[in-house]
Structure 1
Amino acid sequence: MIMTSAVTPVLPADCTLPNWLETCLLSHRVEGERGTPPTDKSNSELVCRAFEFAYALHQGQMRASGEPYICHPIAVASLLRDLGGDSAMIAAGFLHDIVEDTDVTPEEIEAQFGGEVRRLVEGVTKLSKFNFQSKTERQAENFRRMFLAMAQDARVIVVKLADRLHNMRTLEHLKPEKQRRIAQETSEIFAPLANRLGIGRFKWELEDLSFKYLEPDAYRHMQDCVSEKRTDRESRLQLVAATLRERLEEAGVKVVEVSGRPKHLYGIYRKMERQQKAFHEIFDVAAVRVIVHNKDECYRTLAIVHDAFRPIPGRFKDYIGLPKPNRYQSLHTVVLGNHGRPIEVQIRTLEMHHVAEYGIAAHWKYKESGGSSNTQVTTDDEKFTWLRQLLEWQSDLKDAREFMEDIKGNLFAEDVYVFTPDGDVVSLARGATPVDFAYRIHTEVGNHCAGSRVNGRIVPLDTPLQNGDIVSIITQKNGHPSLDWLNYVVTAGARNRIRQWYKRSHRDENMARGRDMLEKELGKNGFESLLKSAPAQTAAERCNYSSVEDLLAGLGYGEVTLNLVVNRLREAVKLHQPLTGSEVAQSDPEGLLAEAVTSPSRSHSSTSSDSPILGIEGLLHHMAGCCHPLPGEPIIGAVSLGSRGIAIHRQGCPNVEPVPGDRLVPVSWNAGDSKNGHRPPTYPVQVRIEVIDRVGVLKDILSHLSDLQINVHKAQVKTFPGQTAEIELGLDVRDHAHLEQTFNQIRKMTDVLKLRRLSQGE
């Protein structure tokens, strides 16, 4: 275990200790010297020990800016303290990079600082010590882990947001390509997360900093525009604020604050883009905020505002009656100010203001007397249903790219508010349909949905819902999802539930397909024993499946690739290698994984012959059109009765069975011919793909094939009402291994249900 001594840290001038930390350290040491415990153990001892521990371990490490690395944990801990974080959060701020950047283990952190701090640090730590197939997969696993930790304790994501905010503040020291990558991730994930948690001060700064690196020219232009008009804008805001303050005092409304608030640069830029307007055409680039004592005074203030200034129709929003999903509450109205220009007025209570600024952190910074500062978000917290849905959906998404797309879509989604017949408010993504509503209520309601009523009228299931609609679902006992629903549902939850139902209804078929694929790759000897071994279960869990059967079904359905499964099996066998004797044999019976190769084809020995087919050199021959043999597959020659010479078939081709033995010629592929340039570059193959029928599925498949540089010489689609669709493609591939690689890429697509190679006449 690593121990640290309580020495006074010496930092360079450009990295000074904040006053709060100096006070904490001084109090801690003075009381320690007296031999008495600190006066506030939770806010002093733990924080000081965490700082000293991080200081010792980060000594000698430098940031890209050239400053000591410890400056970063100090800045993160300070941000968390400003949010009102408790001692465990602040300690985690100091320690959040320890596991990733040093040899300290989570067990050592728990031994020194307790399980609470360990959980926070582990939730933030990246998965840098695992091997992933791609950056997308690594990113997806990082977020899966973070969201799971966040479900147990929402403080995890607050620590991560503080970490990301300070990194964004110092981003100028990195290379441009890394700046853009980090800024893009911040814009797509972390700023929306801050918004979902209601931490407005983090959200605005993260958005502006991302904007600075992603759109530098537009950012500088916005800075110039805002600076030029600042004096006029501030004078208008002051005049409106003074008028409101006077009118409110006359009406006897006790005002906490009336002030002007400039809107952040990215917010103004997005409004310009959305409305296709120039800066001078955007009037509400700033707002007047009125803070009062209670909810009743909010509505009284609204009446006074509308009496003092002319309200603009259609620009009033009541977020007190219908709070945003992040619990933001306020009254927003746009009025014509003293100068005849529109200006936004926001009205809220002091408590609402704290929630708007600090979001979930308002629990810690402004907790009621007797309240706990260790407020945690659980899956039962109705105020964070979006988090529960994220966690439900991520368990269904095995493909890293699809997981990231759904996460981004859910975080960015604008909400529409509808009501159940009992008057409960349900928030859905804009454009949601009754099917989305049904699945939000319960999975079984969605699976048995047969119709819907909106405001008392029966409407089609693809009807977009509007704010204030009262929705009820008509269910049937024998009802089940329709594949057509995938063409119009907009929420990830509904889409994935429909797919999951379809996969479960074909589970046995998918398991059989997955088993065949894996057995073909690894061979039959010892295959059944391998599937029952501990490494197989470990591999399934690393692929985010709870059992080997689920893994085989996912492989057959195309959720996970064959290469990934084999690689995870290899890693699992290595993990179990410390076992000896019979245990090793049980982990890898017959040495399957030691001998397995990434492609099922085996190369023949090279030869100097110029003919692409060995055994018929100099004879007239052609590739049989019935089975389209590929290099790497076992082949046989059959002498044709006509003048076409010898037809080359795949071994096992039905058309070879009736051919007399005296007309069969043993042949094989010339592995060395590809090096000599004599082998034709591609061979034709016919494939049939069964897919979920939706708009754009053929385009997506062709896009995947284009990325693999596969030529498609034929495409035909057959659709059947209410059923799956069939796509027949003619592909040009180099050899059998190339075909298997192509099949693996197509099977990865979520909408692909079956994929097989065709023979002539099918």
Structure 2
Amino acid sequence: RIIVNTVKDCYLTLGLIHSIWSPVPGRFKDYISLPKSNMYQALHTTVVGSGGKFVEIQIKTKKMHKIAEEGIAAHWRYKGGKYLTDKDLNSFTWLRNILESVKENSSKELISSVKGDLSNEEIFVFTPKGDLIKLPFGATPVDFAYAIHTQVGHKTSGAKVNGKLVPLDTKLKNGDVVEIITAKYHKPSRDWLNFVVSSKAKTNIKQYLTKLERKRLLKFGERLLDKFIRKIGKKTSELTEEERKKLLERFSFKSFDDFVVAVGEGKISPNKILRFLRGDTSKLKSSNSDKSISDKDVVIEVDGISNLLSTTAKCCCPIPGDEIVGIIVKGKGISIHHKKCQNIQKILETEPERGINAVWNTKNHNSVYPAYLRIITKDKPGLLAEVSSAIASTKTNISGANIRTRRDGKAVIDMKISVKDLDHLRKVIKLISSVKDVESVSRMCKNK
């Protein structure tokens, strides 16, 4: 390590060294002309010394050495503790990026995202106009786009490297000329987080996705809340300022938007909100059923596939007559499951606020629901026709059928039918079971 007084002395010293010892090709780095993002400056060279050994030499001024040893605070000290110029401030871009990351990420995420920025490895690439851009090693066109401008990064739809179209996860190399293709309505993808390396790119992508998710949850939370409080003749948009203030105090939120987002995330049970607004915990009576249901009950108007907010779960395929429960799925709606569905037992134990006791709406008698049957029979010609005939006698539609033969010689018929309710399904199963050579009939689900 050689410490000199001026930048001019750095280059004069370099010339002197190269005149005495032979430099190793490709091992010279000029970090004075192109400082690292952490403000490190020096001339690095490797020469062939006595005995043929490689010797690495670093040449710096006193100021450069001080910054390398003590960090960026030394730069400010060299300014005498005075305000920094715009040029100085531009040198701290990497630090501003880190500060942005602090706002959005946890400590572990922050360490991971800026580790590359603080690494000694960097690459230098060019814009089509010849401007030099410094990036962390392993950077991609998306990192480059965000280094140009946040909005350029957000609207990136493609990239050219050295005049050729390349995938957005392409690793850039020193000297590459990068051109970003943008589209007005293009948006950042969550997949970009799998390959970007710069803290600025990671931070801006996460910020955008967080805002997008919040907007979606806000909309869903309002719709979900509307569905519940309409029992007392209200809509979310019609709540008075006094009612909103009381809700914020009761559930400890600073803004009503934050409160609605929490509803959309399933963090607050809409039933609790309903009880609070109504001011009592009395029983509600369903207009669609003779039985009384509690405040935690809601009549889900399932019409076979979905309605405004609910869908029947594909893991257990419930039909009217089955005991059901609704599970609030973050930002998506209410998923209707069979009460004994194994997939929801853990959720009901650990996050009971996401559970909603649902009942079927029996108003629409024309609604039909998919049911899946597995029929085990002896393998003989014409048996599928006999089974189909038995089903048709109940005026039941067959939507699909698949038959295969097992190694033991038994035939397995997987069949999809449309039924009105559990009683209808039981009638169909009874008739199929009465067909000669049918050994068993069991209800199953689509994905089993």
Equivalents in 1 of 2:327, 2:258: separation in Å? 30
Which amino acid counterpart does residue 410 of structure 1 have in structure 2? S
Residue 355 in structure 1 maps to residue 67 in structure 2: yes
The equivalent residue for 1:731 is: 343
CA contact (8 A) 2:113 2:202 kept: no
Equivalents in 1 of 2:48, 2:72: separation in Å? 34
Match of 1:427 among 126, 134, 142: 134
The equivalent residue for 1:481 is: 188
Equivalents in 1 of 2:112, 2:328: separation in Å? 33
1:407 Cα deviation (Å)? 1.0
Q: 3-state SS of the aligned residue for 1:407?
A: helix
1:417 Cα deviation (Å)? 2.8
Which amino acid counterpart does residue 464 of structure 1 have in structure 2? K
Structure with the larger helix share: 1
Which amino acid counterpart does residue 408 of structure 1 have in structure 2? I
Match of 1:411 among 90, 104, 114: 114
Aligned counterparts, 1:358-369, within 5 A = 358-367=70-79
CA contact (8 A) 1:319 1:329 kept: yes
- Identity rate, percent: 37
The equivalent residue for 1:303 is: 15
The equivalent residue for 1:448 is: 155
Larger Rg: 2
**Change in CA separation of 1:477 and 1:532 when aligned onto 2, cut-off 3 Å:** same
Match of 1:324 among 26, 36, 40: 36
CA contact (8 A) 1:685 1:733 kept: no
Structure with the larger strand share: 2
CA contact (8 A) 2:228 2:274 kept: no
CA contact (8 A) 2:97 2:199 kept: no
**Change in CA separation of 1:405 and 1:730 when aligned onto 2, cut-off 3 Å:** farther
**Change in CA separation of 1:313 and 1:735 when aligned onto 2, cut-off 3 Å:** closer
Aligned counterparts, 1:666-681, within 5 A = none
Equivalents in 2 of 1:386, 1:309: separation in Å? 37
Equivalents in 1 of 2:134, 2:329: separation in Å? 41
CA contact (8 A) 1:537 1:548 kept: no
1:337-376 deviation digits (Å, cap 9, x = unpaired): 3354333211012222232233332245433xxx5x1447
Which amino acid counterpart does residue 733 of structure 1 have in structure 2? Q
The equivalent residue for 2:197 is: 490
**Change in CA separation of 1:412 and 1:487 when aligned onto 2, cut-off 3 Å:** closer
Equivalents in 2 of 1:428, 1:303: separation in Å? 29
Equivalents in 2 of 1:502, 1:484: separation in Å? 11
The equivalent residue for 2:98 is: 390
What is the root-mean-square deviation in Å for CA atoms of aligned residues?
5.2
Equivalents in 1 of 2:22, 2:88: separation in Å? 44
**Change in CA separation of 1:326 and 1:307 when aligned onto 2, cut-off 3 Å:** same
Equivalents in 2 of 1:475, 1:355: separation in Å? 39
**Change in CA separation of 1:436 and 1:737 when aligned onto 2, cut-off 3 Å:** same
Equivalents in 2 of 1:538, 1:334: separation in Å? 66
Which amino acid counterpart does residue 429 of structure 1 have in structure 2? P
Residue 292 in structure 1 maps to residue 12 in structure 2: no
The equivalent residue for 1:461 is: 168
Q: 3-state SS of the aligned residue for 2:145?
A: helix
Equivalents in 2 of 1:308, 1:409: separation in Å? 44
Equivalents in 2 of 1:330, 1:538: separation in Å? 58
**Change in CA separation of 1:454 and 1:336 when aligned onto 2, cut-off 3 Å:** same
Aligned counterparts, 1:67-466, within 5 A = 289-367=1-79, 373-375=81-83, 381-395=89-103, 397=104, 403-413=106-116, 414=119, 415-466=122-173
Equivalents in 1 of 2:165, 2:352: separation in Å? 49
Match of 2:321 among 636, 643, 656: 656
Which amino acid counterpart does residue 343 of structure 2 have in structure 1? L
- Which structure has more relative contact order (CA 8 Å, sep 6+)? It is 2
1:517 Cα deviation (Å)? 7.7
1:96-154 deviation digits (Å, cap 9, x = unpaired): xxxxxxxxxxxxxxxxxxxxxxxxxxxxxxxxxxxxxxxxxxxxxxxxxxxxxxxxxxx
Equivalents in 2 of 1:523, 1:403: separation in Å? 39
CA contact (8 A) 1:684 1:731 kept: no
Which region of structure 1 is more displaced relative to structure 2, 337-346 or 498-507? 498-507
- TM normalised by structure 2 equals 0.53
Which amino acid counterpart does residue 475 of structure 1 have in structure 2? T
**Change in CA separation of 1:441 and 1:302 when aligned onto 2, cut-off 3 Å:** same
Residue 562 in structure 1 maps to residue 267 in structure 2: yes
Equivalents in 1 of 2:8, 2:62: separation in Å? 13
**Change in CA separation of 1:737 and 1:293 when aligned onto 2, cut-off 3 Å:** same
CA contact (8 A) 1:685 1:732 kept: no
1:331 Cα deviation (Å)? 0.8
CA contact (8 A) 1:363 1:375 kept: no
Which amino acid counterpart does residue 489 of structure 1 have in structure 2? V
1:310 Cα deviation (Å)? 3.3
Q: 3-state SS of the aligned residue for 1:655?
A: coil
Which amino acid counterpart does residue 178 of structure 2 have in structure 1? V
Equivalents in 1 of 2:51, 2:325: separation in Å? 74
**Change in CA separation of 1:538 and 1:311 when aligned onto 2, cut-off 3 Å:** farther
**Change in CA separation of 1:456 and 1:634 when aligned onto 2, cut-off 3 Å:** closer
Matched residue pairs, number?
Answer: 307
